Amino acid sequence: MQLRAKLSNSTFNPETGISTVTVKTKRGTYTGVAKVHPEDKEIQSKYTGLRIAEMKAMRKAYKDELKRERIILHVLPSIQKDLIHTLDKYSAYQTLLAWAQVLIERRFYFITENHKKRINLIEEKIEAINHALEDNKKFLKQIKEKRSKK
């Protein structure tokens, strides 16, 4: 699942080592901040900082999307129940009611399964971002170790 995001703003301050990236999605605006550790000042990079800040902003966007999907999944059964209750209350034709209930149950099953799949995909995307951030830390540590050996 790919979230469409547009880069809104990005800044890097070399004096403080703080990178900030803001992305916009159809659901909102998210900001990620990356700070250079004091011991990493000599190997700081504008591009690395902005990349990390962008990943953090996207992680926020995906977490927000995950929250929305879970709310929808939680509310769907009560919507289905209310819809069937309303049909039962106002339907004069029992055959039509039974047919409509089957259609509603099938449709809600499909919608529920679709949202479960979206939740799994979003969780996988968040996990991938977390792994990328960890890999980046390991990579920077290796660079620092190689430079210190020279």
Could you tell me if residue 124 is inside a domain?
yes
CA of 96: how far to CAs of 77, 82, 83, 89, in Å?
Answer: 21, 17, 14, 13
Pick from 60, 38, 47: which is nearest to 12 by CA? 47
Cα–Cα distance measured from residue 134 to residue 131, given in angstroms and rounded to the nearest whole number: 5
Write the Ramachandran bin of 44: left for phi over 0, alpha for psi from -120 to 50, otherwise beta: beta
Instruction: Report, as an integer, the average pLDDT of 117-133.
Output: 92
* Residue whose structure tokens are 């991938």: 128
Query: Measured on CA atoms in the order 133, 138, 141, 146, is the torsion positive or negative?
Result: negative
Pick from 1, 60, 51: which is nearest to 30 by CA? 60
Residue 20 is predicted with a pLDDT of: 95
Could you tell me if residue 95 is inside a domain?
yes
Give residue 137's domain range.
6-149
51-98 pLDDT, tens digit each: 999 999 999 999 999 999 999 888 888 888 888 777 777 766 677 777
Evaluate if residue 147 carries a pLDDT over 80.
no
DSSP 72-106: HHHHHHHHHHHHHHHHHHH-S-HHHHHHHHHHHHH
Count the domains in the chain: 1
**Rounded to 5°, angle at Cα 100 from 95 and 106:** 130
Could you tell me if residue 73 is inside a domain?
yes
Could you tell me if residue 32 is inside a domain?
yes
Confidence of residue 150 (pLDDT cuts 50, 70, 90): low
- Residues with Cβ < 8 Å from 51, sequence gap 6 or more? 136
Could you tell me if residue 1 is inside a domain?
no
The pTM score is: 0.76
Could you tell me if residue 56 is inside a domain?
yes
